[in-house]
């Protein structure tokens, strides 16, 4: 005699398989707010294994997006999706894992995107940013859309800022790891460019961001970089400029929000 629990499990598995084999184009039409997030065009395949020839955020083309659902996680009540983004200036790949209780995990995330694209999503900076952001993250955890944990490295390659003309900064790296009291701690260093940088970043659970750093031009720094540093104030006796900023990130919870 078939046990009711086994029958229920089989029914749920069948329903999950039925949903995942729906054509991706049809499923996308059913989304209540499909236009509110990334817009997908040229959909092919199924919810299980599909592709969008073009993924756009606003007017920015991110290239093609491919995804594949791992069926082995479905009986455990979890959704695990491997994805790849390619074909445009922005490239990336990773694994997305979701379960009950509003918890979202990214065990692995690799992303490369122009800083201009990133600035387009956060257009409040008074200067233009140049270069490329390389993200190599793992153990990323979000709950109800708010960042809870992250490990990994963010590298700003060919970093540059522009007031009246571009000023090259070299390459800057931020190492991220969980800190005390559910905070997220970051160590900021340069990678041997014209600007020497040492600093720390702390994102507290309350949403407060604390940034402390010292910067100093190296002997190969351009005159434009030296003049830009003078705008920060007077250096100390060692020639270092001290930077400090404390403030609340203008979003709810911890301050970084992401939703499916």
Q: What is the mean pLDDT of residues 144-158?
A: 90
| Bridging pattern class, strands 49-57 and 166-178 | unpaired
pLDDT in tens, 92-116: 999 999 877 778 899 999 999 999 8
The answer on pLDDT for 252 being more than 70 is no
Mean pLDDT computed over every residue of the chain: 82
Q: What is the mean pLDDT of residues 35-61?
A: 80
pTM equals 0.81
The answer on pLDDT for 53 being more than 80 is yes
pLDDT value at residue 260: 35
Query: 74 vs 228, which has greater pLDDT?
Result: 228
Query: 184 vs 142, which has greater pLDDT?
Result: 184
DSSP 188-239: EEE-SSSEEEEEEEEE-TTSEEEEEEEEEE-TT--HHHHHHHHTT----TTS
The answer on pLDDT for 33 being more than 80 is no
Distance from the Cα of residue 65 to its chain's centroid:
16
Give me the residue spans of the domains in the chain: 1-63, 89-248
pLDDT value at residue 253: 42
Q: What is the mean pLDDT of residues 6-22?
A: 55
Among 140-144, 157-161, 184-188, 219-223, the range scoring the smallest mean pLDDT is: 140-144
pLDDT in tens, 219-235: 999 999 999 999 888 99
**C-alpha span between 205 and 191 (Å, rounded):** 29
Non-local CB neighbours of 53 within 8 Å, separated by 6+ positions:
41, 42, 43, 44, 64
Q: What is the mean pLDDT of residues 35-54?
A: 80
- C-beta separation of 159 from 131 below 8 A: yes
Sign of CA dihedral 63, 166, 196, 194: positive
Contacts within 8 Å (CB) and 24+ apart, 175-180: 176/137, 176/150, 176/151, 176/152, 177/151, 178/149, 178/150, 178/151
pLDDT value at residue 198: 98
pLDDT value at residue 19: 59
Q: C-alpha dihedral over 12, 13, 15, 19, to 10 degrees?
A: 130
Q: Nearest Cα to 26, choosing from 3, 7, 45?
A: 45
pLDDT value at residue 249: 67
Query: 123 vs 192, which has greater pLDDT?
Result: 192
**C-alpha span between 195 and 222 (Å, rounded):** 10
Sign of CA dihedral 121, 169, 136, 85: positive
The answer on pLDDT for 5 being more than 60 is no
Which two three-digit tokens encode residue 175?
């190492």
């Amino acid at each position: 005699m078939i046990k009711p629990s086994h029958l229920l499990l089989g029914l749920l598995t069948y329903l999950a398989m039925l949903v995942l084999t729906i054509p991706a184009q049809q499923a996308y039409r059913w989304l209540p707010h499909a236009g509110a997030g990334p817009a997908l065009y040229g959909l092919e395949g199924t919810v299980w294994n599909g592709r969008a020839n073009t993924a756009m955020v606003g007017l920015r083309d991110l290239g093609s997006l491919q995804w594949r659902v791992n069926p082995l996680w479905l009986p455990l009540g979890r959704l695990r999706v491997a994805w790849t983004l390619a074909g445009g200036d922005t490239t990336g790949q990773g694994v997305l894992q979701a379960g009950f209780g509003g918890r979202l995990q990214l065990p692995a995330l690799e992303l490369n995107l122009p800083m201009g694209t990133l600035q387009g999503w956060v257009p409040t900076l008074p200067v233009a940013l140049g270069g490329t952001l390389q993200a190599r993250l793992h153990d990323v955890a979000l709950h109800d859309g708010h960042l809870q944990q992250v490990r990994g490295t963010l590298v700003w390659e060919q970093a540059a800022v522009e007031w009246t003309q571009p000023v090259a900064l070299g390459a800057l790296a931020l190492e991220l790891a969980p800190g005390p009291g559910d905070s997220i701690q970051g160590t900021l260093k340069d990678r041997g460019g014209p600007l020497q940088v040492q600093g720390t970043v702390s994102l507290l659970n309350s949403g407060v961001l604390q940034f402390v750093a010292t910067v100093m031009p190296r002997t190969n720094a351009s005159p434009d970089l030296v003049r830009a540093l003078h705008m920060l104030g007077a250096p100390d006796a060692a020639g270092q400029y001290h930077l400090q900023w404390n403030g609340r990130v203008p979003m709810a919870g911890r301050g970084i929000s992401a939703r499916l």
